[in-house]
Amino acid sequence: MSRLEDDRLLLGLGKFIDDFDSSPCVHAVFFRSQFSSGRIKSMDVSKALKMPGVIDVFKGHHFKGLVMPAFNALLKSNKPIEFPVLSSEKISYVGEPLGVVLAHSYWEAHNACEAIELNIESDPSYEVNKTDEALFTSVFKNHDGLDDANPNVVSAQLHQPRVVALPLEPRSMLARYMSETDSYHLFLGSQTPSRAQSDMANILDVPLSRVRVTMVNVGGAFGFKSSVYPEELIIALCCQFLKKTIKWVSTRSEDFLSGMHGRGSTSFGQLKLSPSGKIQALRAHLSFDLGAWLPFSAVVPLRNACRILPGPYHVPMIDIEGHAHLSHKAPVNIYRGAGRPEAAILMETLMEKAAKSFNIDSVDFRLQHLISSEEMPYVTPTGEVLDSGHYSKILLKACELFDYQKEREDQSRRQERGECVGIGIGFYIEPCGMGWESASIEWHSDEAITLYCGSPAQGQGHETTFANIVSKELNCSVSKIKVNLGDTDFGPPGLGTLASRSIAIGGSAIVKACREVLRLKNSGQALPIAVHEVFNSKEAWGYGCVICRLSIDVDTGKPLIERMVYVDDAGHQIDPDLVKDQLLGGCAQGIGQAMMEQMIYDGHGQLLTGSLMDYAMPRADDIPYIQIHSECTPSPHNLLGAKGVGEAGCIGVPASLLNAARDALNLSVEEDIDFPLTSEKLWNLLRRSKGEV
């Protein structure tokens, strides 16, 4: 959270959608499916329409022919795909919106929802855990496969459970019809206000100029608010129909049921090694569950995971194939990391197994295979270009700060005393900062400066960082700079804040705009001066290494993260304190994924972890002290030499914790363990190792 935002929120001056006093306004509550599949035979809303305070009830037939926005076609689908904004024919998952009640108050709308009668016809062929055929495929291959009979092959089969983002405010929206201009003002928590504006204009069938999207305090997004939801489009349509202000605030339980989830994949990998222990080839197969419909960035995790492999290591031959399929569950979209953790977890598990199979120290084995700085820029076997980096330096620095050799000696002594303790390493690379972004600067006659940028903030500290960039470039006091973000009526269009791109691309657009302002001023143009600039860039690649020590209570299986060292290279840093905050936030979510978080569906497609009573997330006492150190290898692809940092903590932390658990349990090369590393799971593995089960 930026210092500017932090001050406001600590004083109670933050403003979320639910804080808007928009009386009088219409309140919306969605009627949702309690079933995971079936055909809609009838949906009777007559009783609901007679309930006190009810204004109207809309069903699927009111929006017939309207479909969700197209997804980002980074991977080509095997068949044409369209999803209705509101289904009138079939049900695809529990929590799917099937209708919306509009009333004078929230509780009147809520009570009316209870009066709706739904009659469905079941599908006898339906199986909740049976997935559809692969809808998307990603393949990278430069040889004819591995010899399965080769004795020097290590394998891993890993499952990543679904997780859910938990921003401070659930999904919410306020839609106002502006009668004087026949336009719409939509208040929305979004990472991509320009794209949301376009999606809303398309569904309303009005020019872009008649739709204004304004962000207020978002309270975190993590990919969860990167694409528009059916509910948001429906609220806009209801506003158009009624010509009234409409407010919708989701409950936390609704977000669990119908919000976009993250992760949810299975990966299989094999490393083929020479008799001396040198990696010769990688085979990997990844399968991703997309859920019932496709948000804009649905295929990004699959694409990222496949193209990132084999990570930071020399692997001359690859055979990588990934598939993604639909299922009768809530949709899956980008979640902090978006495929990067999946690639790192698989590769780092294979590296750990390979080192153990040859009785080579984990650090030494990695040092033998890391790509060197002299080889940069380096073209990976998947065709990606790693722009810059000094991987071995980062690994050795992490070992130095961790005091690796001493920690190994202490580990041996503790194991001799009967303790269960392990050390794990997670090395990762992170693609970030690609594409375009825009910025506008106005230097006013009174010397005040206003900055607008297409990269909005959800708590990362953009206001502070962007102001610092302008201050340095224009050699002026930060106090003279006003930063405006997240309003399409004032700010320039942009791709938004996601994929660890805001400083590298958005910041470079700001630098470019500042330099043009100075050029005009130094050429004799008088104030006021206004400029707009767009910056476009190739991809930068951050990287880092996490080393941790994990102990497991031999009687209860309870894990304890005793120590964690994290060395990261995000290129040039504008504000080191905010960089550290971003890394710590990512680490917390990485710890949550590794140790406790998982979304569980039963065999009927019912969500069993539908609230914070059932879904565990990390608290303050679950997060250890994390020693963070940053190095800097600037990226040559942007004006600031910056690389991404927002997702980094989620990438290396889970891999290091998984390897620490493997080490503590002394698992064989043939054994695998999946997240989350719960006490029950670890206790059962301890019992099995003692021959008790």
The one-character DSSP state at 348 is H
The residue type of 574 is: I
Average pLDDT over the chain reads: 93
Cβ-based neighbours of 97, under 8 Å, separated by 6 or more? 30, 31, 32, 86, 230, 231, 234, 258
Q: How many CB atoms lie within 10 A of CB 32?
A: 20
Using the predicted structure, report yes or no on whether residue 151 has a pLDDT greater than 80.
no
Per-residue confidence (pLDDT) for residue 148, from 0 to 100:
60
* Six-digit token string for 428: 């990762």
| Residue 38 pLDDT grade (very low, low, confident, very high; cuts 50, 70, 90) | very high
User: CA 44, 49, 54: angle at the middle one, nearest 5?
Assistant: 140
Cβ-based neighbours of 538, under 8 Å, separated by 6 or more? 385, 387, 434, 637
Comparing 691 with 291, the larger pLDDT belongs to 291
| Residue 125 pLDDT grade (very low, low, confident, very high; cuts 50, 70, 90) | low
How far is the C-alpha of 124 from the C-alpha of 467, rounded, in Å? 60
Most confident range, picked from 29-33, 76-80, 193-197, 619-623: 29-33
| Residue 217 pLDDT grade (very low, low, confident, very high; cuts 50, 70, 90) | confident
How far is the C-alpha of 1 from the C-alpha of 6, rounded, in Å? 6
Using the predicted structure, report yes or no on whether residue 126 has a pLDDT greater than 70.
no
Between helices 193-204 and 230-242, what is the axis angle to 10°? 50
User: CA 672, 676, 678: angle at the middle one, nearest 5?
Assistant: 100
Contact indicator for 220, 165 with CB cutoff of 8 Å: yes
**CA distances in angstroms from 235 to 30, 72, 196, 343, listed in the order given:** 10, 23, 13, 38
Using the predicted structure, report yes or no on whether residue 13 has a pLDDT greater than 80.
no
Q: Which helix (H) or strand (E) holds 129?
A: none
Q: How far apart are the first and last CA of the chain?
A: 48
Q: What is the pLDDT of residues 222-260, one digit of tens each?
A: 888 989 999 999 999 999 999 999 999 999 999 999 999
Per-residue confidence (pLDDT) for residue 444, from 0 to 100:
95
Distance of CA 671 to the CA centre of its chain: 29
| Residue 434 pLDDT grade (very low, low, confident, very high; cuts 50, 70, 90) | confident
Contact indicator for 4, 156 with CB cutoff of 8 Å: no
Per-residue confidence (pLDDT) for residue 143, from 0 to 100:
77
Scanning the structure block, which residue is given the tokens 């009573």?
Answer: 613
Tell me which of 116-130, 185-199, 359-373 is least confident. 116-130
Q: What is the pLDDT of residues 555-590, one digit of tens each?
A: 999 999 999 999 999 999 999 999 999 999 999 999
Cβ-based neighbours of 448, under 8 Å, separated by 6 or more? 480, 481, 482
Helix (H, G, I), strand (E, B) or coil at 331: coil
Per-residue confidence (pLDDT) for residue 571, from 0 to 100:
94
Using the predicted structure, report yes or no on whether residue 405 has a pLDDT greater than 70.
yes
Per-residue confidence (pLDDT) for residue 476, from 0 to 100:
93
User: What is the pLDDT averaged over residues 63-68?
Assistant: 95
**CA distances in angstroms from 417 to 407, 411, 420, listed in the order given:** 15, 10, 9
User: What is the pLDDT averaged over residues 108-112?
Assistant: 97
The residue type of 407 is: E
Q: What is the pLDDT of residues 305-353, one digit of tens each?
A: 999 999 999 999 999 999 999 999 999 999 999 999 999 999 999 999 9
Structural domains of the chain, with CATH: 21-125+168-219+225-258 (3.90.1170.50), 261-432+539-689 (3.30.365.10), 435-537 (3.30.365.10)
Radius of gyration over every alpha carbon of the chain, rounded to an integer in angstroms: 26
Using the predicted structure, report yes or no on whether residue 660 has a pLDDT greater than 50.
yes
pTM of the complete model: 0.94
How far is the C-alpha of 654 from the C-alpha of 220, rounded, in Å? 21
User: What is the pLDDT averaged over residues 135-144?
Assistant: 86
Per-residue confidence (pLDDT) for residue 2, from 0 to 100:
43
Using the predicted structure, report yes or no on whether residue 548 has a pLDDT greater than 70.
yes
Comparing 221 with 180, the larger pLDDT belongs to 180
Per-residue confidence (pLDDT) for residue 231, from 0 to 100:
97
| Residue 265 pLDDT grade (very low, low, confident, very high; cuts 50, 70, 90) | very high
Contact indicator for 581, 1 with CB cutoff of 8 Å: yes
Contact indicator for 246, 233 with CB cutoff of 8 Å: no
Tell me which of 40-49, 285-294, 457-466, 530-539 is least confident. 457-466
Q: What percent of the chain has pLDDT over 70?
A: 96
Using the predicted structure, report yes or no on whether residue 524 has a pLDDT greater than 70.
yes
Per-residue confidence (pLDDT) for residue 1, from 0 to 100:
37
Give the HSE-up count for residue 329: Cα atoms under 13 Å, Cβ half-sphere. 34
**CA distances in angstroms from 207 to 174, 186, 199, 275, listed in the order given:** 20, 15, 11, 66
Would you report the helix, strand and coil content of the chain in percent, each value rounded to 5?
Answer: 30, 30, 40
Per-residue confidence (pLDDT) for residue 612, from 0 to 100:
94
Per-residue confidence (pLDDT) for residue 310, from 0 to 100:
97
Q: 363, 275, 347, 343: which is closest to 314 by C-alpha?
A: 347
Q: What percent of the chain has pLDDT over 90?
A: 83
Q: Buried (b) or exposed (e) across 153-181, using 16+ Cβ within 10 A?
A: bbbbebebbbbbbbbebbbbbbbbbeeee
Per-residue confidence (pLDDT) for residue 500, from 0 to 100:
85
| Residue 63 pLDDT grade (very low, low, confident, very high; cuts 50, 70, 90) | very high
Q: 595, 560, 583, 575: which is closest to 651 by C-alpha?
A: 583
CA dihedral 237, 242, 245, 247 (to 10 degrees): -60
Using the predicted structure, report yes or no on whether residue 9 has a pLDDT greater than 70.
no
Tell me which of 109-118, 492-501, 645-654, 665-674 is least confident. 492-501
Using the predicted structure, report yes or no on whether residue 300 has a pLDDT greater than 90.
yes
The residue type of 313 is: Y
